[in-house]
Amino acid sequence: MIDTHAHILAGLDDGPETMEQTKQLLEQAVEEKITGIITTPHAFHPSFKTDTTASQKQLELANDYIQQQGMPIRLYSGQECRLSEKLPERLQAGEALTLAGSQYVLLELPSAGVPAYTVPLIQQLITKGYVPIIAHPERNQGIIEKPERLRKLLVHGALAQVTAGSVAGSFGKAIQRTAMNLIYANLIHAYGSDVHSMDKRPFVFNKGLDYLEKKKLHDVVDVFLENNDRILHNKNLLVMEPQDIPKPKWWDIFA
């Protein structure tokens, strides 16, 4: 299994502070049967200063440790890029990283809402050959209040990724409900752990998948995992038909 969203590199952002903590997270990832992780430290976030050089250095250190220990896992480069009008040019200049060197860019919106320039930025990224994937839309207040805002971003070419912890209930029932509603509405394409630490934000990758299985969303699980692999290998993602996603009787998010 491939994880396409993880803060696992040491000393870069609000993820692990030390290499020892990174090692613990790697051990947990192996226990979860994760075989590949696209590392996504924050980029251009107002609270963190992370450049590509520092990210690549920590990635090399972590992969060297994995090789020394013979662990059945590999880490790949990436960043969670904060929404910025300069993002397209930063990507082209090598100042920002796509997911595993692919066309896919993990795009983080400010948590309070969806800025007016989001659609033009998505269009610019696509024009330049990038495909933005909206990170954890279920935790964006604007999308929580009006899920149609996410659909608008997808119509303009973006994709979306749900967080395992949201599905598993780690952020509370309200966010779990939003995550499931977006999945039922066929507005989610990929799945990531968004792991940060062993104590506050551990891997709950399988716990989220188990919850989806419990809700009889077996095909959704298969598509999420397949799409994670496709992101890693820079292939076009699968898109399910709305009628292929079984919904509870009470569900109608756009009623």
Q: What is the pLDDT of residues 184-211, one digit of tens each?
A: 999 999 999 999 988 888 899 999 999 9
CA distance 179 to 153: 16
| C-beta separation of 158 from 107 below 8 A | yes
Structure tokens at 245: 């996603």
pLDDT at 163: 97
| Amino acid 238: pLDDT | 95
HSE, side-chain direction, 13 A CA sphere, residue 36: 17
Q: What is the mean pLDDT of residues 104-120?
A: 95
What mean pLDDT comes out for the span 106-119? 94
Helix axes 218-232, 205-214, angle to 10 degrees: 140
To the nearest whole number, what is the mean pLDDT of the chain? Answer: 93
DSSP 83: P
Domains of the chain by range and CATH?
A: 2-244 (3.20.20.140)
What is the percent of the chain where pLDDT is above 70? 98
Query: What 3-state DSSP class applies to 34?
Result: coil
Per DSSP, the residues of 210-235 read: HHHHHTT-HHHHHHHHHHHHHHHTT-
The pLDDT of residue 255 is above 50: no
- Over range 89-107, report the average pLDDT: 96
Q: pLDDT grade, residue 5 (50/70/90)?
A: very high
Check residue 49 and give its pLDDT: 77
**What is the predicted pLDDT for the residue at 249?**
75
pLDDT digits (tens, 9 = 90+) for 160-181: 999 999 999 999 999 999 999 9
Mean pLDDT, rounded, for 69-83: 96
Strands (E), 67-168: 74-76, 80-82, 104-108, 131-135, 159-163
For residue 254, pLDDT over 70 is answered with no
The model's pTM? 0.94
- pLDDT surpasses 70 at 80: yes
Write down the pLDDT at residue 241: 86
Stated as kind and residue range, the H or E segment containing 194 is: none
Largest CA-CA distance found in the chain, in angstroms, rounded: 55
Alpha-carbon span 31 to 26, nearest angstrom? 9
pLDDT score of 253 more than 90: no
Least confident span in 13-27, 41-55, 147-161, 169-183: 41-55
